[in-house]
Structure 1
């Protein structure tokens, strides 16, 4: 069982709790006190913060032990950073690299830690990163050294409070926490039991309760607006207040009117008593002790839910081959000793070979590790590329399979991708010389075994110009099937096999074509030839009439309603 002390201070006042903790057991709190930091007379030399804190701790007789220091939100910089999907062992380096661009003055001397956030609806990965400056770090270490304490952890205040709420069963769903500190009010939003957003603002000590309530409600509205911009489900159903009694009821009523939901005023001291052994009386202004009480335990830091600047998230340690290599050396030495002087020369030669082979093995292992890392990166990029749609290829395919411009003209193309359903959509609107060309378009573009299907909404006759009807068709592409075909083509290229034949419903772009006097493409099928003849006959009829007036319903070459393509 060890002695633990948790401290939180500002330039005028310090909050301290101390007691005994045992790994795996309930913490035993023996002292909880808040005191003003002592100052010297005006005639004496001013005391430093470290000297004031050390003198105050000595006056309170808290003793020595492992120290956990709480840093307020205003003492750290925080950012939500978007990161690529990388393995866990590479995430710390990625976060450090991204933070150097997101934080304005971050250097190698800053202490940085992060916690992962739930991904967005579009799959984008995010982390909540926090950093404290070298000046803050030097101040914390100087205060602990002056007081004779061993610095064990430096926690950000909202995450220490989250520990207390989690142990007391109050941390679930979307939660707004409002805390009244000495000179500031701190707002924290939790989502899915994790810190999502935190900010603080100063309040005047001379301000009335009504003024503080109005200022706090305004800051809460701005904080909730920022939270909704970052999260699709940005509704807050519960609010907890850790404030003094005069402010509690007016603020609770204002919150119920402003955002609704359940509003509850809680005392951190009462929450702590349910999960620990308490051997002292509650301190004055116990509503300000949530962070120091939450950090008072012997639990190991959880990188997934807590920010601890002394124990930040690090990549896992690489496996060591030291024991195995040591056993190999011992075996070689034992073998050489048993051989004796008679085989001394041969043993020396073999030992040299063993050393060379070991060096070669280590070099090969390094190369192999680098190759695996590179292949993992290539695989991530390849998977991302395979899931995309190459619209250039799709437009080229569309151009190859459409009839001639004399028969079809496109007026509008709409391209879209549904990542959730894994479907790409290509919408076409245009005009055709006659309605039979719509059937040709559907037959040429449909390829069911390629995951391509086409359907039309309507065909509208028109008598304007040389195009006698308008059409509206939608081509859908199954991205999963398209990815399978690309993989088959890729594997066929690796094995040297021939390309797969053109699927049913498709047109071989290398099939020979012939051009008649009018530029029409003569296909091998009788059906397309018949349609060309009908088109030529319709054109001959137009030339015979010698007029541009619209054709009557009886003389129109439009097919009957039951002849339109489905």
Structure 2
């Protein structure tokens, strides 16, 4: 494995560690702290080149790892909507460029996942300006060592703590005391949840008290409740003898466990063959300042084992990228072929079904064409039947109406009927019977109106009029009884149905019993005697012609279906009725007839033995129908 050179610097000093990684972990071969007059790239390159010339490593086999602090990078904690892991890098970069002050699209952006749930994803995102990345590249080029990683320094120190804990990471706060900065990392649930870097020179008065305050603010900033702002454990990078006073002061201020951790105790040391031997005074006293560099080397070795991307670092040179999911084309080709086969099968089934349906449609059309003449003839018959029904709806049987009137009128002791006229309603059909009567009491008028009204008859009246004390029947009134046309039609069809049932029952009653066993029947059904060949069928002279004998079949009564249909029956020729006089003519709109008109006899009912299937049909209606006159059905009747 290649040698690793890890460096970081600030305005006061350059820190460098040389080592190598292996299956047994990290082995350090040299380390140093070099004072700097400034942090310009040229000054850093000169100091680093002098130290490399002194130890003389194989530069072609060495890779450069650079750790940068908060002064060179900008951090933000972002809360993002839940997305698939392969799409998270693109979303973080887009959101980070909107949140950071770095406005360049070429800025290096990487992130460290903190927490992920169904509602949101939290990350620590960092960005480095392109100019800073160019300065680091120039330093790498000047010392002729290939640049491999540029990582955030506090996160690199946390990576060393994670690697040294062997999976048993407790919640704690890591503190790295540098020359001019204090870096704080909050660990919770084995993850870095907050990173803070504070400018605080080593000679600052009350530095320990300020560090305690920054720790509390860091815990509050990372979402810890106010009651939990006191950490359970604080770890200071370095040797116990170097940071004994700081540790004791933090114990008293924070009232929690404070410990020191020497990063050199987590790796293997091999100073043999090195001229500097890693033994200068600054190096031996401030070993905690090398924790980020050693952690960067440990994270790089772990990343090489899993494919190059470290899950513990924020690496600006190798940021996390959107993972393109590789799809197996064979699966898609198989799925497409199967879908094509299914589509072809469905197309064939659809074509077969459509062909069958088309044949059925053509067959139905042919059947409709054959039935269309019969339908047209039936529609014509129905129209003619409706015309006949409309004509016959005015054929009211007055005798039935008079019988109903006689049955429902009050007795003569309570009311009398003075005049009665009846007429047909030509426009809407039906008939109307107008009654002029008188009653002894007004209540009789209402009783009579209620008695004459039913579902087939509507009654309207003028009410009771006082005729004076001289009349026994003091209260005169007029009532009109209207017979609905539907009532007339239903009664007619009921008569047709009864006649049909009677005509069908008569042949069954008159049919002879089965007498095939009697001698007379046997004789009548026996075969006729054929004529002899010698017998001539021509008549003799002076004699009448003789017809040949033909067997006679027994006659049976015709059935109802064989009866001839009656087109129309005319019993009497209606006589012209005398016109009513002006004195007796009624002003009724229904063409009622005056009481002086002679009564009209109801046409006689002709019984027919023919089979009637509904109302009789008429070949042609009369050319001009004259409205029948209204018969006077009586005067002064009771």
Normalised to the residue count of structure 2, the TM-score between the two structures is: 0.45
2:7–2:66 CA contact under 8 A, matched in 1: yes
Give the structure 2 partner of residue 264 of structure 1: 259
Q: Is residue 207 from structure 1 mapped to residue 204 from structure 2 by the alignment?
A: yes
Q: Is residue 17 from structure 1 mapped to residue 17 from structure 2 by the alignment?
A: yes
2:172–2:233 CA contact under 8 A, matched in 1: yes
Give the structure 2 partner of residue 2 of structure 1: 2
SS at match of 1:74: coil
Q: Is residue 221 from structure 1 mapped to residue 216 from structure 2 by the alignment?
A: yes
Measured after TM superposition, the shift of residue 147 of structure 1 is: 0.4
Give the structure 2 partner of residue 311 of structure 1: 318
- Partners of 2:278 and 2:254 lie apart in 1 by 36
Measured after TM superposition, the shift of residue 138 of structure 1 is: 0.9
| 1:244 to 1:8, Cα distance in 2 relative to 1, 3 A | same
* Alignment deviations for residues 149-195 of structure 1 (CA, whole Å, 9 cap, x no partner): 11111111122112221222186232111111121111111112222
- Partners of 1:252 and 1:130 lie apart in 2 by 30
1:177 to 174, 178, 184: 174
Measured after TM superposition, the shift of residue 96 of structure 1 is: 1.3
Q: Is residue 30 from structure 1 mapped to residue 29 from structure 2 by the alignment?
A: yes
| 1:27 to 1:105, Cα distance in 2 relative to 1, 3 A | closer
What's the RMSD between the two structures over aligned residues?
3.5
1:175–1:239 CA contact under 8 A, matched in 2: yes
- Partners of 2:312 and 2:163 lie apart in 1 by 14
2:122 to 123, 126, 144: 126
* Alignment deviations for residues 482-518 of structure 1 (CA, whole Å, 9 cap, x no partner): xxxxxxxxxxxxxxxxxxxxxxxxxxxxxxxxxxxxx
* Alignment deviations for residues 302-332 of structure 1 (CA, whole Å, 9 cap, x no partner): 554321112211122342789x9xxxxxxxx
Give the structure 2 partner of residue 299 of structure 1: 302
| 1:293 to 1:156, Cα distance in 2 relative to 1, 3 A | same
Normalised to the residue count of structure 1, the TM-score between the two structures is: 0.50
Give the structure 2 partner of residue 195 of structure 1: 192
- Partners of 1:234 and 1:254 lie apart in 2 by 17
Give the structure 1 partner of residue 233 of structure 2: 238
1:303–1:313 CA contact under 8 A, matched in 2: no
- Partners of 1:230 and 1:111 lie apart in 2 by 34
Pairs aligned (count): 318
2:216–2:229 CA contact under 8 A, matched in 1: no
2:230–2:254 CA contact under 8 A, matched in 1: no
1:121-520 aligned at under 5 Å gives the runs: 123-169=119-165, 172-208=169-205, 211-228=206-223, 236-243=231-238, 248-273=243-268, 281=278, 283-284=283-284, 285-297=286-298, 298-300=301-303, 303-319=310-326
Identify unmatched segments of 5+ residues in structure 1: 40-44, 325-357, 365-566
2:302–2:310 CA contact under 8 A, matched in 1: no
1:156–1:307 CA contact under 8 A, matched in 2: yes
- Partners of 1:222 and 1:255 lie apart in 2 by 15
Give the structure 1 partner of residue 498 of structure 2: none
Measured after TM superposition, the shift of residue 18 of structure 1 is: 1.2
- Partners of 1:108 and 1:196 lie apart in 2 by 27
Measured after TM superposition, the shift of residue 229 of structure 1 is: 5.0
* Alignment deviations for residues 267-300 of structure 1 (CA, whole Å, 9 cap, x no partner): 1112334xx7675556332121101111224221
Structure label with greater radius of gyration: 2
- Partners of 2:43 and 2:231 lie apart in 1 by 43
Give the structure 2 partner of residue 367 of structure 1: none
- Partners of 1:251 and 1:123 lie apart in 2 by 41
1:536-551 aligned at under 5 Å gives the runs: none
Measured after TM superposition, the shift of residue 118 of structure 1 is: 1.5
Give the structure 1 partner of residue 599 of structure 2: none
Identify unmatched segments of 5+ residues in structure 2: 340-638
